[in-house]
Amino acid sequence: MFTKLFSPIKINECEIPNRLAVTAMVANYCNDDGTASDRYIAYHEAKAKGGWGLIITEDYAINDHAMNFTNAAGLWEDSQIESHKRLTDTIHQYESKIFAQIFHAGRQSNPFVNGGMQPVAPSAIPCPWHKQIPRELTISEIEKFVDEFGDTALRAKKAGFDGVEIHAGHGYLLAEFLSHYVNKRTDKYGGPLDNRARIIKEIIENIRSKVGSDFPVTIRYSADEAVQGGRTIAETRVLARLFEEWGFDALHISSGVYGDHNKGIISPMYVDQAWTVDYAAEIKKIVKIPVFTVNRINDPRMAEDILEMGKADIIGMGRGSLADPDLPNKAKFGKLDSIRYCISCLQGCMGGLATGSVKCLVNPSLGREGEIDYSLVEKPKSVLIAGGGPGGLQAALSASSKGHKVSLYEKRPYLGGQFKSAAYPPCKGDLSNFTTWIINQLYELGVDIHLNTEVTKELVVEKNPDVVIIATGGSSLIPPIKGIDKPNVFTAEDVLLGKVATGDKIVVAGGGEVGSETAAHLGMQQREVSLVEMTPILCKELNGVNKYGLMKILDEYEVKRYTETKVIEILDNGVMVENGQGKFTIPAETIVLALGYKPDNSLIDELESVHKNVITIGGALKTSNALVAIEEGFEVGMSIK
């Protein structure tokens, strides 16, 4: 089925066993001196076990001020080599090859992570991400960096890496040199393309003088920076020929820069799948060395097609490997329906990085590979779970995979809880991939599933399980607003699920993620929608890239937005609101409530009165989100002894 995907390919003298590459992703799992921690090694080992042909590590800093995260990897001094040698030795127990990505973060760094230094750049223009004015580099500093790239590549070789990837994309230092929109220099490193690319020519020469000609050195850069005045495919093509001529062994064609309104480097679900592939295809037409493509390519069949059509030579998957490190082996053995696909939510990976380290919403084991005991328990317990939302489903999956006998009860006629309705708004369909996946897993593991069944104390007494888990999630918050009980007022969940019919003029009350997505859903039905939010900001819980995608849909369907506006009263023909302009009525036939959730905790006291081992998780305890509910479900399911 996958003749191309599982055929080997050579990068320089290094044979990669198949065409599936994990792309560089900073996880923030290393020690704070840039050395590899056990956690970091176990995380990569899971991917090698899973069958990836090539693992490209996160971006290793070339000096002790070059990083963009506190616990990112580095090879700026010899003392760091040993820990990274442990990593490469671990990976080499399997068939995978491993390359280190090396970089300098340039202006996309900040003093909180880089040892208190003002960031540096070709020119003193702040980046939209950190907004700090960087210091313009002097010629002698640039020369020093060139040397440091060479030294870092040599250390990577000594640490046992099979190759290095130079990171010249995504708006980091080398990308800054390459691009007119941030490089305003008028010396030999600025102006025409040859000058802007000079630093990269010097770097590859320096590296080659240190690692020799047979050590793979590849380069990653953005085909289109998707920013005003940034580089486009036109210069990318010219650069491709230059890079090949200068001795790079492969080109990794990515896209975007951080902090722009990109589609972008790490595309959310609002962006088409595999949308950058044609950039790689363009480049492949004009070079002989292997070309990587990447971005929202998760399905192995999609990957095979890209190879078959000659659009690229190697398929990069970043988040696909976080969501399921075993994807290659599952594909190889034809178990496509067991792949846990990335849903492009950005909640665990980018959200995790923003607050600590990388997580994954659909893969709660991520970053805990070496820490958790996945073996079967000696004495299986009977476990009764109330609630079939994400937390309950994950608790059932974890407990049953440990060998416990699990029964799950859901009062609704379907599983998935709020995660089911969350897949209904535009561009959110991928969410149902996870719900379907986890439900299938539960049936395969023999979990006893009861729909349309509420858990009561009588049921618990009758079944008498060893453990009871309450995962009933939250229910819609209905505040005491005058008129809220009118027959034309519905919850967002009921509207999304198509349980109720709306009129053509609609007010959605509550401009958080659920309200805004419901407004988009209704806008797509070509209704006249107004969105009312009390605070100054819509979707404040949403990351920038997702929010940008969602707001574009609201623009497209002309959804009217009222922020800092309070709902005062629901009338028969509209909603009376109040804001800085005073009180006024927004005409509407239907009012949709998206005012948040409250914990559905009514079972706690009831069940605790008849059972001594009741554990409550997720939104039933505290209003949270699917990431937290799944983590808690995982935790509790894995820890039952």
Ligand X SMILES: Cc1cc2nc3c(=O)[nH]c(=O)nc-3n(C[C@H](O)[C@H](O)[C@H](O)COP(=O)(O)O)c2cc1C
H or E element in which residue 606 lies: helix 603-608
Distances (CA, A) of 21 to 54, 234, 281, 292, 305: 5, 26, 17, 9, 16
Question: Is residue 353 near ligand X by the rule CB under 6 A?
Answer: yes
Burial class of residue 497 in the structure, from the number of CB atoms within 10 Å of its CB (0-12 exposed, 13-18 middle, 19+ buried) = middle
Minimum separation from the CB atom of position 342 to ligand SF4 (A): 3
Question: Is residue 39 near ligand X by the rule CB under 6 A?
Answer: no
341 catalytic? Reply is no
Question: Is residue 319 near ligand SF4 by the rule CB under 6 A?
Answer: yes
Question: Is residue 565 near ligand X by the rule CB under 6 A?
Answer: no
- Exactly one of 344, 398, 502, 516 binds ligand SF4 (CB under 6 A); that residue is 344
- Exactly one of 182, 269, 277, 317 binds ligand X (CB under 6 A); that residue is 317
The single residue of 29, 172, 270, 341 carrying the catalytic annotation is 172
β-bridge mates for residue 448, sequence order? 407
Cβ-based nearer residue to ligand SF4, 235 or 430: 430
Among residues 390, 407, 536, 494, which one has the least CA distance to residue 459? 407
76-95 positions binding ligand X, by CB under 6 A: none
What amino acid occupies position 2?
A: F
Q: Which does 507 bind (CB under 5 to 8 A by kind): ligand X, ligand SF4, none?
A: none
Minimum separation from the CB atom of position 134 to ligand X (A): 19
Minimum separation from the CB atom of position 361 to ligand SF4 (A): 4
Question: Is residue 167 near ligand X by the rule CB under 6 A?
Answer: yes
Phi, psi for 3 (deg, rounded to 5)? -65, -35
Distance separating alpha carbons of residues 400 and 221, to the nearest angstrom: 44
Give how far the C-alpha of residue 335 lies from the chain's centroid of Cα atoms, to the nearest Å. Answer: 24
Minimum separation from the CB atom of position 138 to ligand X (A): 27
End-to-end CA distance of the chain: give it in Å, rounded: 42
Distance separating alpha carbons of residues 213 and 207, to the nearest angstrom: 9
Distance separating alpha carbons of residues 235 and 313, to the nearest angstrom: 21
Q: Which long-range contacts (CB under 8 A, 24 or more apart) does 194-203 make?
A: 197/239, 197/242, 199/142, 199/145, 199/146, 199/174, 200/166, 200/168, 200/174, 200/243, 200/246, 201/242, 201/246, 202/143, 202/146, 203/146, 203/149, 203/150, 203/166, 203/174
For the record, the structure tokens of 379 come out as 């004495």
Distance separating alpha carbons of residues 577 and 582, to the nearest angstrom: 8
Minimum separation from the CB atom of position 319 to ligand SF4 (A): 3
Q: How many CB atoms lie within 10 A of CB 364?
A: 23
Question: Is residue 271 near ligand X by the rule CB under 6 A?
Answer: no
Question: Is residue 433 near ligand X by the rule CB under 6 A?
Answer: no
For the record, the structure tokens of 428 come out as 């959110």
Q: Which does 100 bind (CB under 5 to 8 A by kind): ligand X, ligand SF4, none?
A: none
Binding flags for ligand X, 439-468, as an x/- string (CB under 6 A): ------------------------------
- Exactly one of 156, 346, 385, 592 binds ligand SF4 (CB under 6 A); that residue is 346
Cβ-based nearer residue to ligand SF4, 343 or 595: 343
Cβ-based nearer residue to ligand SF4, 207 or 349: 349
Question: Is residue 394 near ligand SF4 by the rule CB under 6 A?
Answer: no
Question: Is residue 296 near ligand X by the rule CB under 6 A?
Answer: yes
Distance separating alpha carbons of residues 8 and 162, to the nearest angstrom: 15
Cβ-based nearer residue to ligand X, 55 or 531: 55
Question: Is residue 26 near ligand X by the rule CB under 6 A?
Answer: yes
H or E element in which residue 322 lies: helix 319-323
Among residues 127, 122, 318, which one has the least CA distance to residue 225? 127
Cβ-based nearer residue to ligand X, 532 or 545: 545
Minimum separation from the CB atom of position 272 to ligand X (A): 11
357-376 positions binding ligand SF4, by CB under 6 A: 360-362
Q: Which residue is nearest to ligand X (CB)?
A: 318
- Exactly one of 24, 175, 277, 345 binds ligand X (CB under 6 A); that residue is 24
What amino acid occupies position 539?
A: C
Question: Is residue 67 near ligand X by the rule CB under 6 A?
Answer: no
Tokens 């709020």 found at: 418
324-343 positions binding ligand SF4, by CB under 6 A: 342-343
β-bridge mates for residue 315, sequence order? 20, 293
Minimum separation from the CB atom of position 313 to ligand X (A): 16
Distance separating alpha carbons of residues 419 and 33, to the nearest angstrom: 40
Question: Is residue 61 near ligand X by the rule CB under 6 A?
Answer: no
Query: Which stretch in 181-189, 235-243, 261-269, 283-291 sits in contact with ligand X by CB under 6 A?
Result: 261-269
Cβ-based nearer residue to ligand X, 12 or 262: 262
Query: Which stretch in 17-25, 44-52, 124-132, 360-368 sits in contact with ligand X by CB under 6 A?
Result: 17-25
Cβ-based nearer residue to ligand SF4, 343 or 459: 343
What amino acid occupies position 464?
A: N
Q: Which does 345 bind (CB under 5 to 8 A by kind): ligand X, ligand SF4, none?
A: ligand SF4
Contacts of 540 (CB under 8 A, 6+ apart): 512
- Exactly one of 46, 294, 545, 559 binds ligand X (CB under 6 A); that residue is 294
Minimum separation from the CB atom of position 219 to ligand X (A): 11
Question: Is residue 320 near ligand X by the rule CB under 6 A?
Answer: yes
Minimum separation from the CB atom of position 495 to ligand X (A): 31
- Exactly one of 322, 396, 577, 620 binds ligand SF4 (CB under 6 A); that residue is 322
In DSSP notation, 118-147 reads PPEESSS---TTT-PPPEEPPHHHHHHHHH
Pairing relationship of beta strands 597-599 and 474-476 according to DSSP bridges: antiparallel
Question: Is residue 58 near ligand X by the rule CB under 6 A?
Answer: yes
Question: Is residue 323 near ligand SF4 by the rule CB under 6 A?
Answer: yes
For the record, the structure tokens of 426 come out as 């535009």
Question: Is residue 295 near ligand SF4 by the rule CB under 6 A?
Answer: no
Give how far the C-alpha of residue 290 lies from the chain's centroid of Cα atoms, to the nearest Å. Answer: 26
Distances (CA, A) of 50 to 299, 314, 335, 376, 418: 15, 17, 13, 20, 31
Question: Is residue 185 near ligand X by the rule CB under 6 A?
Answer: no
Distance separating alpha carbons of residues 404 and 476, to the nearest angstrom: 33
Cβ-based nearer residue to ligand SF4, 211 or 346: 346
Minimum separation from the CB atom of position 315 to ligand X (A): 9
Minimum separation from the CB atom of position 348 to ligand SF4 (A): 3
Q: Which does 435 bind (CB under 5 to 8 A by kind): ligand X, ligand SF4, none?
A: none
> Which amino acids are annotated catalytic?
172
Which residues bind to ligand X, rule: CB under 6 A?
23-26, 58-59, 101, 167, 170, 220, 254, 265-267, 294-296, 317-320, 349-350, 353, 358
Which residues bind to ligand SF4, rule: CB under 6 A?
319, 322-323, 342-349, 360-362
